[in-house]
């Protein structure tokens, strides 16, 4: 069987420079491949997410895969996909919409990068799972949860930055991931770190989807709808966030790292 050649782009998303933010692969396709093939490609790419995009009328369909599973929502790979569309495939465009498992996701150019229009998540306060404190190595001040993740507030940004979790124990919890946060330092309104061992991602460098819950959470506490957020992973990433009730706007930049093609 003859191999099919398809473009591939790798970008650092939510980053103002290379080697920061969250790397994502973006693969524009003529038609959406079978899920097993997309999963195999994502495992081969071995990045937090690979986005597959297909032209659909005036806009695009999008799906995201980690090296081990398909996910219903991904911020940084959507940001990277929008940059590919507006800087490589259709450079005259100023905005694009993606049809996804989480509905329609809009991305528009801004003076400083791109702004994503995503669905808000509304966590509710819950009792801490029995193993959570031991898994994190820190005592939660509060534990909240939405349909996807536990959201754990710690007493300080320093505690968030110092975490060294037990990923095997986190993987046994009954949520896809654990988002740990505290009031911000260094001029930021909040800081966070995100752990997704169930998805094959022990720590995600910068997580747009997590800020769909973090933004309403901190906006309510701080009494304002616009926030500066920092994800304190080793690579680090900054997001500008706006809470609009059922939607969250996330703004960030992208940097192209690799452009080429693959034979499938």
**Gap between the Cα atoms of 243 and 258, Å rounded:** 33
CA-based angle 151:153:157, to the nearest 5?
125
Helix (H) / strand (E) element for 228: namely strand 226-231
**Gap between the Cα atoms of 40 and 10, Å rounded:** 17
Q: Cite the active site residues.
A: 49
Exposed e or buried b per residue across 218-239, where buried means at least 16 C-beta atoms within 10 angstroms of its C-beta: bbeeeeebebebbbbbebbbbb
Where do runs of H (alpha helix) occur along 193-245? 211-222
**Strand pairing of 70-71 and 59-65?**
antiparallel
**Gap between the Cα atoms of 32 and 6, Å rounded:** 12
Q: How far is CA 50 from CA 45, 124, 130, 237, in A?
A: 7, 30, 34, 19
**Gap between the Cα atoms of 164 and 183, Å rounded:** 19
Are 136 and 261 within 8 A, CB to CB? no
Length of the chain in terms of residues written: 264
Residue position matching structure tokens 């820190």? 138
**Gap between the Cα atoms of 14 and 79, Å rounded:** 8
**Gap between the Cα atoms of 250 and 212, Å rounded:** 8
């Amino acid at each position: 069987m003859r191999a099919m050649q398809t473009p591939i782009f790798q970008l650092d998303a939510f980053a103002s420079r290379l080697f920061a933010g969250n790397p994502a692969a973006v693969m524009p396709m003529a038609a959406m491949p079978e899920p097993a093939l997309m999963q195999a490609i994502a495992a081969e790419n071995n990045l937090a997410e690979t986005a597959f995009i297909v032209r659909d009328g005036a806009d695009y369909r999008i799906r995201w895969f980690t090296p081990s599973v398909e996910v219903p929502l991904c911020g940084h790979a959507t940001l990277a996909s929008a940059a590919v569309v507006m800087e490589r495939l259709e450079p005259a465009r100023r905005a694009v919409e993606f049809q996804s498992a989480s509905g329609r996701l809009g991305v528009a150019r801004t003076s400083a990068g791109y702004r994503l229009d995503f669905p808000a998540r509304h966590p509710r306060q819950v009792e801490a799972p029995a193993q959570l404190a031991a898994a994190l190595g820190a005592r939660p001040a509060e534990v909240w949860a939405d349909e996807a993740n536990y959201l754990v507030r710690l007493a300080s940004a320093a505690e968030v930055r110092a975490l060294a979790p037990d990923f095997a124990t986190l993987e046994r919890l009954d949520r896809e991931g654990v988002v740990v946060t505290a009031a911000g330092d260094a001029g930021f309104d909040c800081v966070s770190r995100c752990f997704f061992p169930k998805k094959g991602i022990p720590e995600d460098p910068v997580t747009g989807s997590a800020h769909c819950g973090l933004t309403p959470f901190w906006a309510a506490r701080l009494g304002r709808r616009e926030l500066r957020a920092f994800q304190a992973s080793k690579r680090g990433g900054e997001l500008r966030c706006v809470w609009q009730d059922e939607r969250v706007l996330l703004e960030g930049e992208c940097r192209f790292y690799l452009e080429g093609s693959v034979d499938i």
